[in-house]
Structure 1
Amino acid sequence: MAEEVKRIAVLTSGGDAPGMNAAIRAVVRKGIYHGLTVYGVERGYEGLIHGEFREMSLGSVADIIHRGGTTLRTARSKEMLTAEGQAAAAAQLRERGIDALIVIGGDGSYRGAQTLAALGIKIVGIPGTIDNDIPGTDLTIGFDTAINTVVEAVSKIRDTATSHERTFLVEVMGRTCGNIALQAGLACGAESILVPEIPFDLDEVVAKLRRGHERGKNHSIILVAEGVGGAYEMGEELRRRSGFETRVTILGHLQRGGNPSALDAVIASAMGGKAVEVLMRGETNQMTAYVNQEVIACPIEAAYGPRPPFNKNLYDLAEQLSI
């Protein structure tokens, strides 16, 4: 019979993402509802190693569901990459009689969780990253909000692009994954979308700009994922090849902030609740996932499988609509 879980902890690790607070709230309130004692760990694995725990109450998560960022804060931890750091983290949990840990974060956060699982700690991962690049789940916490943030920003940029008859190159996050650029680009009607997954030719981008100009279009938006290359150098090259006045805007960390969208708040809440249920069943090495519009639990190894193929059909549609 599985050992009963009575005391659990939750932390956020890696880059923050809108909706993390909703997940924290769900873990805390779901846990308390079922009679568990819930601890929050501040500053991710760094705080775990150094004992930065606080017991959570219903009031400690009041009015955070709609807030961006993470109230538990987050940090990168080099110590957690060492055997000594991992042993110290596990010892901190055992000293407090904590039976299990819920980790909200991305791929690196999951790997840290699995080192603790190897030391006998029950763990569940909740996927939180705006890049939506974790295999095993259709959506990660923060992705939908990030897309909406980009679309809102591009809408404002387009106003000035129109007024000054300029081409704007807008860089969004995505070092190895172009999901934000693709979906935001389609949603805002970008003239070109450049992503790491699809080779591109700047001459073709210039040709499209010229075709638009010939039919009376006096401005253009080009959305580019950061993994494609230097935005400023690319903007200068576009200006040189096309002769059009070109400006570059890098949205940067703007995309990680702001209140979560309704979808992110709902998914995050469902994932937080599911994570507690998994632990109460005595299971470990699991992750929550959003699959076919339902939140499920699956082995955390699913996060290390092949990334779902880039949505080439959606990319092709965006190209066709921006002729």
Structure 2
Amino acid sequence: MYKLPALDAVKELKAIAVLTSGGDAPGMNPAIRGVVRAALSHGIRVYGVNRGYSGLIIGDIWEMNSRSVTNIVQRGGTLLKSDRCEAFKDPTVRHQAAEILREREIEGLVVIGGDGSLTGAALLAEESGIPVVGLPGTIDNDIHGSDDTIGFDTAVNTALDAIDRIRDTALSHERLFLVEVMGRDSGFIATQVGIACGAEMVVIPEVEFKIQSLCFQLANNRVKGEGSSGIIVVAEGPRPGLTYRIAQQLEENGQSPKVCILGHIQRGGSPTGHDRVLASCMGATAVDYLRAGYSSIMVGVQKGEVLDVPLKEVLERKKPLASEWIAMSSLLHK
């Protein structure tokens, strides 16, 4: 269980709003439910914004009640829908969004999403003065200031379930499979999945990849009778097609790999119990922070404690994949 902050309410809020933005992540619905139920318990009206910032700038907003979030904790995706809104990068558009919130007498906003969504939240709060609290909703787990993000645990377990099935074929045919998981700029998913599934190796953006070294290691493993899982986990990387390029290079070096792209199945499905609890706690605590007069913060979790992190700090710093986890991944695959 998480240690929750003890916050004193200094503001009586009439109404707040909540939106989900960017890529969807399993656990967004429990987070929405946490916001709605916590706010209503304090007599605060709650408005849901459809399709993230795209809905906010056109006033696609509706009042929610307790029944609005009944039976959604087990559902993947987001009840409020989501979108990537390029228009929100324009200060004029953000001003328009702030005016819409003021017209509805909305005195606080909770934004659930990744780094792009949190950037929009920080700019809106800075320029308009409207209190905004962000929640880290992304399967990539790459948000600074929080040890965990909403959706990461589910994405890892979804990938593991798929790989466990792929391994049956890999072992039956003594065949090598390259399994691509999400992670354009970070290897959090790939590393955790690789360790958990017992992959022969993991390819991640944080470590330089050399095809000759890979082929040598595969051959050496076969000679020693090691690395028999037949699975290589590959983070997708910044350039599309990485896994197919690796497969082609392996073929040119005498291997016969098969490619399996897990893709967006990692975003979908029912959130794990871990993600439901994490998201629910973050959602309810976001309301407490708004009532306590906070703004321009993200609710994060560090060492089992739910706490606030300034959005400026979140956005200025990158969360690195710890070197010891990279080393552990390499060690266990030998």
Query: TM-score w.r.t. structure 2 length?
Result: 0.93
* Cα distance in structure 1, aligned partners of 2:243 and 2:209: 14
Q: Please give the per-residue CA displacement for 1:148-197, whole angstroms capped at 9, x wherever unaligned.
A: 11111111111111122211111111111111000110000110101111
- Compare 1-10 and 106-115 and name the one that shifted more: 1-10
Residue from 9, 16, 22 that aligns with 1:8: 16
Q: CA deviation at 1:82?
A: 1.1
Q: Is residue 265 from structure 1 mapped to residue 276 from structure 2 by the alignment? A: yes
Q: Percent identity?
A: 48
Q: List aligned pairs for 1:38-53, cutoff 5 A.
A: 38-53=46-61
Q: Please give the per-residue CA displacement for 1:177-231, whole angstroms capped at 9, x wherever unaligned.
A: 1110001100001101011111132222112221232345665111111116521
Letter in 2 for 1:122: P
Letter in 1 for 2:27: G
- Compare 127-136 and 79-88 and name the one that shifted more: 79-88
* Cα distance in structure 2, aligned partners of 1:282 and 1:228: 39
Residue from 237, 243, 249 that aligns with 1:237: 249
- In structure 2, the CA distance between the partners of 1:39 and 1:161, relative to structure 1 (3 Å rule), is same
The answer as to whether partners of 2:11 and 2:291 remain within 8 angstroms in 1 is no
* Cα distance in structure 2, aligned partners of 1:50 and 1:171: 38
Q: List aligned pairs for 1:221-236, cutoff 5 A.
A: 221-227=231-237, 229=239, 230-236=242-248
Segments ≥4 residues shifted beyond 4 Å: 215-219
Residue from 182, 188, 193 that aligns with 2:191: 182
Residue equivalent to 1:35:
43
Higher relative contact order (CA 8 A, sep 6+): 2
The answer as to whether partners of 1:171 and 1:231 remain within 8 angstroms in 2 is yes
Residue equivalent to 1:77:
85
Q: CA deviation at 1:113?
A: 1.1
* Cα distance in structure 1, aligned partners of 2:100 and 2:270: 33
Q: List aligned pairs for 1:44-193, cutoff 5 A.
A: 44-117=52-125, 118-193=127-202
Letter in 1 for 2:113: G
Residue from 296, 313, 322 that aligns with 2:324: 313
- Compare 24-33 and 79-88 and name the one that shifted more: 79-88
The answer as to whether partners of 2:36 and 2:69 remain within 8 angstroms in 1 is yes
Q: How many aligned positions are there?
A: 322
- In structure 2, the CA distance between the partners of 1:304 and 1:170, relative to structure 1 (3 Å rule), is same
SS at match of 1:235: helix
RMSD of aligned alpha carbons: 1.5
Q: Please give the per-residue CA displacement for 1:122-165, whole angstroms capped at 9, x wherever unaligned.
A: 10000000001110111110111111111111111111111222
SS at match of 2:237: helix
Residue equivalent to 1:198:
207
Letter in 2 for 1:239: E
Letter in 1 for 2:305: E
Q: CA deviation at 1:109?
A: 0.7
The answer as to whether partners of 1:136 and 1:305 remain within 8 angstroms in 2 is no
Q: CA deviation at 1:301?
A: 1.8
Q: CA deviation at 1:2?
A: 5.7
Letter in 1 for 2:204: V
* Cα distance in structure 2, aligned partners of 1:314 and 1:138: 14
* Cα distance in structure 2, aligned partners of 1:100 and 1:125: 11
The answer as to whether partners of 2:18 and 2:109 remain within 8 angstroms in 1 is yes
Letter in 1 for 2:278: I
SS at match of 2:17: strand
Residue from 279, 287, 291 that aligns with 2:290: 279
Letter in 1 for 2:234: V
Which blocks of at least 5 consecutive residues in structure 2 are unaligned? 1-8
